[in-house]
Amino acid sequence: LYLSKTRLFMISGDALKPINNMTIVLSLEDGSGYVASERDRLDKWCENNNVSGSIMNIIRF
């Protein structure tokens, strides 16, 4: 799985789990996306690169 190579997810048994308490997923219209652990940095990166899409927050309990 490519998400496990982002250092934001881990494989535990048969499950893919986020490492951080909050993981942000940015989905783009072309089917690609980005993941981040810090919303402020992701927002700034999007602004600098003129990228926008749908945001999903994954919260680990």
What local confidence, expressed as pLDDT, does residue 28 receive?
96
Q: Are 42 and 28 in contact (CB under 8 A)?
A: no
What six digits make up the tokens of 35?
Answer: 């993941």
Residue reference for tokens 């602004």? 47
- pLDDT tens digits along 17-32: 999 999 999 999 999 9
* Regions in the chain scoring below 50 on pLDDT: none
What local confidence, expressed as pLDDT, does residue 1 receive?
54
**Whole domain around residue 12: which residue ranges?**
3-59
pTM metric for this prediction: 0.80
Number of domains in the chain: 1
CA–CA distances in Å: residue 46 to residues 14, 22, 23, 25, 55? 33, 18, 16, 12, 11
What local confidence, expressed as pLDDT, does residue 19 receive?
92
